[in-house]
Structure 1
Amino acid sequence: MRYGKYRFILSFLALPFVLYAIFVLSPYAQAFYIALTDWQGFTSRANFVGLANFVRLVQDPIFWIALKNNLFLLISIPIIVIVLALFFSSMINFGGSGRGRKHRAGIRGVAGGRFYQVVYFFPSVLSVTGHRGALAVHLRAEKRPAERLPVRDRAVRRQTGLAR
């Protein structure tokens, strides 16, 4: 049963690896090669300058300010978003204004918590039905192309004998 197991698995993984190499790794390699040239993007001429662009970048004080700002955002934004998401989800899930219900751990939730859950989930439902509706309209228009013309154009086609 084990004979050829890895060959079988690799046969299924080969295509995703090839696609990853073509569409992800290749653009990175091309961008790095372009960074090693003095190409400005306006002409096809590019002279190889090696790591001179990176040396100039490291010596630029604006680069270090931008890097510091990016690192700050990289660390702080996920923390803030996660804390807020956990807070809001716990407040909605504890739910209720507290009238006539026992509170979990003595915490009162948001009045109308179920309504907020529906409002939050509703765009997901709309996107699914919206895509199906748009597809149905598109397919109907492809099936009967004369119907997708404005009313005036349909009348002109009928008068000229071009209508089906």
Structure 2
Amino acid sequence: MVKLVINGEERQFDGDQDTPLLWVLRDEMGLTGTKFGCGIAACGACTVHIDGAPSFACVTPVGVLEGAKITTIEGLSENGDHPVQEAWRDLNVAQCGYCQAGQVMQAAALVDQYDTVTDEDIDAVMSANLCRCGTYPRIRAAVKQAAAAKSGTKEAEAQ
């Protein structure tokens, strides 16, 4: 049995320890915001935070997560008011939306870690997450807006 803290709630999984976290979240815990994209950590649709760091749930076996604190898109912000979520809405980032939970989780980790972000920072971090619709300019603008909002500056640049 693996004990986890998922979105602030203590949970247990009593199945195969090699089961990817993605399937535990979706099938066992009913948290379907985290999406399956590729299953090989190549697209980022399944990005969650494990102990505060962005991680691919599709390739992370639940057995290595004893006691880990996991945050999914459902647990990022109780009211959907994380600066990244607000910027995503303000700038209409999502197109089809499939990759967006992973994009938001990756961006939130970046914004939570740094007060200011450069284009190079965004490229380096967000390149792990693919968007088939090509909303990269809006993603970049939203990350900048969220970082500015978090730091209290007015330096957000819409692109």
* Band of TM-score, shorter chain: under 0.3
Q: Which has the higher strand share?
A: 2
Q: Which has the higher helix share?
A: 1
Query: TM-score, length-normalised on structure 2?
Result: 0.18
Larger relative CO (CA 8 A, sep 6+): 1 or 2? 2
Query: TM-score, length-normalised on structure 1?
Result: 0.18
Q: Which of these two proteins has the greater Rg computed from alpha carbons? A: 1
